[in-house]
Amino acid sequence: MGKFEVLDHPLIQHKLTLIRDKNCSTKEFREIVNEISTLMAYEVSRDMPLQDVEVETPMGKTIKKQISGKKVAIVPILRAGLGMVDGMAELLPVARIGHIGMYRDEETLKPTEYFVKLPSDISERQIFVVDPMLATGGSAIMAVDALKKRGARDIKFCCLVAAPEGVEALRETHPDIDIYTAALDEKLNDDGYIVPGLGDAGDRLFGTK
Ligand code: URA
């Protein structure tokens, strides 16, 4: 079974509280999501493989650690996932960026795939799928389906707020992937929104309604 971790670093918790506030402006919301994503990248890359390399300091040669060759991809689920890309890429600058387009049918709440563009060597990469909200789990499950169908094997899912229902659904369908979230909230409401949550992450990031 993959990991499930709530990233409870005080800076992450503090910043998440700021963006939950309904009075947080679009500008602040976007900036803080960026910052949280950078902090999350630090946490979720803890188990990246290292290798020994020789380095020559001014005092002489020594063998020290460096991140080994495994390549990385950040894959946002459109559109809200885009808000987490730059912050993550700040710490993972060589990452390639894939995109998976899903929209949620407002009536059935079912996710529908409309766009998938990934690096051609996706099967060799460590993949960080990013989407701020893990609500029903529908889009996350479909995004992981889409990745696995194209050969992806090493997948971590990163979100800001998760609902228990979404975590359970994602873990049941894809038990092999790791899930990281900044918060595990109470529940979903009848409209499929996370409570207390932070509202519609896409609308708050992009100033739409
Ligand atoms: N998507 C969002 O943006 N917010 C929620 O609360 C649930 C799904």
Q: How would you write the pLDDT of the chain (209 residues) with one tens digit per residue?
A: 999 999 999 999 999 999 999 999 999 999 999 999 999 999 999 999 999 999 999 999 999 999 987 799 999 999 999 999 999 999 999 999 999 998 767 787 677 889 999 999 999 999 999 999 999 999 999 999 999 999 999 999 999 999 999 999 999 999 999 999 999 999 999 999 999 999 999 999 999 98
Cis amide prior to 93 (ω within 30 degrees): no
Q: Which atom of ligand 1 is nearest to the CA of 203?
A: 3
Please enumerate, by residue number, every residue annotated as part of a binding site for 5-phospho-alpha-D-ribose 1-diphosphate. Answer: 79, 104, 131-139, 200
**Residues tagged active-site:** 104, 108, 200, 203
3-state secondary structure of 198: coil
CA 167/CA 13 separation, integer angstroms: 19
Residue whose CA lies nearest to ligand 1 atom number 3 = 200
Terminal C-alpha separation, the chain: 38
Q: What is the largest CA-CA distance in the chain?
A: 67
What residue ranges line ligand 1, CB within 6 angstroms? 80, 133, 135, 192-194, 197, 200-202
Instruction: Detail the DSSP E strand segments found in 25-136.
Output: 50-57, 60-67, 71-78, 96-97, 99-104, 111-117, 125-130, 133-134
How remote is the CA of residue 75 from the centroid of ligand 1, in Å? 18
pLDDT score for 183: 98
Residue whose CA lies nearest to ligand 1 atom number 4 = 200
3-state secondary structure of 139: helix
pLDDT score for 89: 98
pLDDT score for 111: 78
In the chain, where are the structural domains located?
Answer: 4-206
How remote is the CA of residue 81 from the centroid of ligand 1, in Å? 11
What residue type is assigned to position 123 of the chain? S
How remote is the CA of residue 200 from the centroid of ligand 1, in Å? 5
Q: What is the CA radius of gyration of the chain?
A: 18
Contacts of 144 (CB under 8 A, 6+ apart): 129, 155, 157, 170, 173, 174, 177
Burial of 145 (0-12, 13-18, 19+ CB in 10 A): middle
CATH architecture under which domain 4-206 falls = 3-Layer(aba) Sandwich (3.40)
pLDDT score for 75: 98
How remote is the CA of residue 135 from the centroid of ligand 1, in Å? 6
Residue whose CA lies nearest to ligand 1 atom number 7 = 193
